[in-house]
Each structure stands twice: as C-alpha cells, then as structure tokens.
Chains A and B, each alone.
Chain A
Amino acid sequence: MPNLKDLKNRIESVKSTRKITKAMQMVAAAKLRRAQEAAEAGRPYAERFNAVLGGLAASSGGDSAPKLLSGTGSDQVHMLVVMTAERGLCGGFNSSIAKMARAKAEELIASGKTVKILTVGKKGREQLKRDFEDQMVDHVDLSGVRNVGYDNAQGIANDLIHRFNEGEFDVATIFYNKFESVISQIPTAQQVIPASFDAPAEGAEEVSTVYDYEPSEEGILATLLPSGVATQVFTALLENGASEQGARMSAMDNATRNAGDMIDKLTIQFNRSRQAVITNELIEIISGAEAL
C-alpha cells in the first residue's frame, strides 16, 4: 500500500489535472458557440451558390464545359486534401479523419492509382506522415489563424486550381468532419474537382425559370467554378472548426468527470490508510502500556 504522502500528492495532481480539463472544456464551449455561429452564417451563401452553380452546370454539360466541371477525362492521379485541427486533445476528431483518408488512400493505391496528399492542419499531417511520407505534396499551416476566413479558403482553393491546371492531378477530394452535434461529428469525403453537385431540389418553379445570363452562360460558369471550389473548402473549414470544438468539449467533459471519479476513489483510499495508521499507533500505545 502506498504511503500517505504519496497518496496525497497523487490526489493533488489529479485535482490540478481536473482544473485544466475543466478550463479547456469551458474554453471549447465558448469557441464552439462562435464556430457554430460562423458555420451558420456561411450556410446561406453556400446553399445559394451551389443551387445556382448546380443549375448552370446541369444546363451546360457537354464537351465545351470547363475542365473544372468535366474533369480531365482520366482519374489516374488523386489529390486528397485532408483537413484536421492544429491541436490535439479533442477526442477522436483528428484520428477519424486521418483514418478515413488513410483507408481511401490505401484503396486507391491498391487499385493502381497515384495518390497525392495535401494536409491542412498539423495533426493530420503527423498522423499520415508515417505511412504516406512520399505522397505528401504540401501542407497548409493555419496555426496562426484565429478565425478562419474566406481568404484562407480561397488560398487553399487557388492553390488546388493552380495545381489542377498544371496537370498535377485529375481528381481532388476533401476530407473533413461534418458538424452534426456536440457528440457526433461525421467524417466526410467530398469531391471538389471535377465539381460535383447534389441534385438541386426539383421545385416546379425552378424548372420553369429560364434565366438570362450576362455575360454568357459559359462566361459565368468559368468565373464561378473557381469560387465554387473556394466555397466548398470554406464550408468544410467552418464545419471542421465547429466539429473540433464540439469534439474537444465532449472529450474534456469526459476527462473532467473521470478525474472527479478518480479523486473520489483516491480520497477513500487515503482516508482508509490514515485510519489504519492511527489504529496501528493506538495498538502500539495500548500494548506498550499493558506490557508495563
């Protein structure tokens, strides 16, 4: 049995750990609210954008469509954009994305495709580096960015489009966590190049509306597709931000609760040992007195 002093130190150390996890939980909760608001504020734009772009893309499919929409005609080289957090201690958040990306990469390699990986966020890079060091092409560091803005997304998107135009890859997929609720984040893979759209809700009104396009339909499509990539990346970054804070909040909540349980257990153990020591001392005194 550990002696009293050791137990006492142990209890103190668990208590300070609990303080830290509690503080992290509260910070995450505050940040989560902000991140959620940002994600919600960005939603109307993304929805409308995709609706318009989807309509345009559907009506102007064909040979003349820009490459960003129709693809290069091959799917030999895949670019996986893995978006994770810059920090750890957020439960399974980072590893669930990394796991999904790894599975996808292995599947592609097994079927003879070439895989390239671009990581956003330090944690994903660390996890994938061991297995796919050779496939890593670049890394985007967002650790200095406090609030992810559209500029960041645009930077990533422009980089992707530039690489695409240089012929570095045929298909790009982004991996991120979709924010469902505080306890549930869904790792999601979404193809961004060539652009893919959810079929627009077929409202009778939308079908009957014939738009005038200014300048031309192709002109608009060519201008909007790059922004479309940026919008998708931005949505992913926002969802990821909210998911990260949600995951951290629930992970830290669990940690705080576990620390509390541990303190209770250690305290009981401490009290029992103290009692045993006192009993021992009494027995020694009594038997000493009896011996006289």
Chain B
Amino acid sequence: MADTMQFDLVSPERSLASLQATAVQLPGADGDLTAMPNHAPTITTLRPGIVRVESPEGNAEFAVTGGFAEVTATGTSVLAERALPTSEVTQDVLDGFVSDAAAASENATAENLDELAKRTVDIAAMASELGLSVKG
C-alpha cells in the first residue's frame, strides 16, 4: 500500500502546490474530510476554509475561498477559486474576502441567499482559526 499520494493545489491563475502527501484535510461543503492514499474516489465542493496537507517533508496550510476537490486512490487535486498559503493571509486579504462575499450577498436572489450567508459565516470561521477577526 502506497503511503503517499500526489497532491495538487491549483487556482485559475497559478499552480500553488504539487507534492507527495500522506494526508490532506479538506473543508468540504458538507463537512471536513481527510483524504489519505486509497481513499474512495470522491468529488466534493469546498467552502471557504483551510486545506491542511501532511507530507513527509512537513505540513502546509492553505486558505481557499471555494472551488472543489477531486480525490482518487492515488491523488488529491484541489481546484480553488482563490487560494494562498495561510502565512500570506493578512487582515487586508481577509477584508478582501469579506467584501467580496458582501458584494455577492447584495445581488443575492432568494434561492442563493442562504448559501451566501453561509459563505460569510464560513469566512468568519476561517478567520478565527487563523487568529484574525472579521470587522463588523
């Protein structure tokens, strides 16, 4: 049994990571899940949150604002709308996320109002995990 799998993290603008990982923790839309080698093939959408990667070389963390992940037995690919290492998430970046979400909420229709509200909450949760806070 292989003890590592290929992990790729790509955003539309660039590829952020491509490495061998032992486990990847994903913020799935329906709840967190951890993908390890030989995981059943899964496709899941992501909510704003933190992707944690464990690899023999060390761990890495990335903040993502959404997108989806494709998990297979031999690899995990995360296609994030926006992604960056958590070390680069500053208050300014976070404020950007929040204002984007707020702008989206303004154009919300009845159908996706809940979804957008959840998005805002998810961002706040991500912020507190990183030790930042969302300004009112």
Contacts and interface: CB of A to CB of B under 8 A. Distances in A.
A64 B19 CA distance: 39
A221 to B, nearest CB: 10
Contact of A45 (B11, B28, B70, B107): B11
Interface string B91-109: 0000000000000000100
Contact of B70 (A38, A48, A215, A219): A48
Contact of A214 (B13, B42, B81, B82): B42
Given A42-B12, A45-B79, A220 B68 contact: yes
Given A150-B82, A227-B67, A214 B44 contact: yes
A209 B72 contact: yes
A147 to B, nearest CB: 9
Contacts of B82: 150
Interface in B82-132: 82, 107
A145 to B, nearest CB: 14
A153 B12 CA distance: 10
Taking residues whose C-beta sits less than 8 angstroms from the other chain, chain A's interface range is: 20 to 34
Contacts of A88: none
B43 A52 contact: yes
B134 interface: no
Taking residues whose C-beta sits less than 8 angstroms from the other chain, chain B's interface range is: 20 to 34
Interface string B5-48: 00010111111000000000000111001000000111111000
A197 interface: no
A234 B82 CA distance: 14
Given A45-B79, A211-B41, A214-B43, A52 B68 contact: yes
Contacts of B68: 52, 220, 223-224
Interface in B37-75: 40-45, 67-68, 70, 72
Nearest to A212: B42
Nearest to B39: A212
B77 to A, nearest CB: 6
Interface in A205-227: 209-215, 219-220, 223-224, 227
Contacts of A227: 67, 81
Nearest to A205: B72
A41 B14 contact: yes
Contact of A215 (B11, B12, B29, B72): B29
Contacts of A200: none
A162 B41 CA distance: 33
B29 A45 contact: no
Contacts of B70: 48, 52, 211
Given A41-B15, A231-B12, A214 B28 contact: yes
A45 B12 contact: yes
Contacts of B44: 213-215, 220
A214 B41 contact: no
A159 to B, nearest CB: 11
A92 interface: no
Nearest to A148: B13
A61 interface: no
22 contacts: A42-B14, A44-B8, A44-B10, A45-B10, A52-B68, A150-B11, A150-B13, A210-B41, A211-B42, A211-B43, A212-B42, A213-B44, A214-B42, A215-B29, A215-B44, A215-B45, A220-B45, A220-B68, A224-B68, A227-B81, A230-B12, A231-B12
What are the 10 tightest A-B residue pairs by CB atom distance, in nearest-first order? A214-B44, A150-B12, A212-B42, A41-B14, A45-B10, A211-B41, A211-B43, A45-B12, A44-B10, A209-B41
Given A45-B79, A230-B12, 11 more contacts: A150-B81, A150-B82, A210-B41, A211-B41, A211-B70, A214-B29, A214-B30, A214-B43, A220-B43, A220-B68, A224-B45
Interface of A: 38, 41-42, 44-46, 48-49, 52, 56, 149-150, 153, 162, 209-215, 219-220, 223-224, 227, 230-231, 234
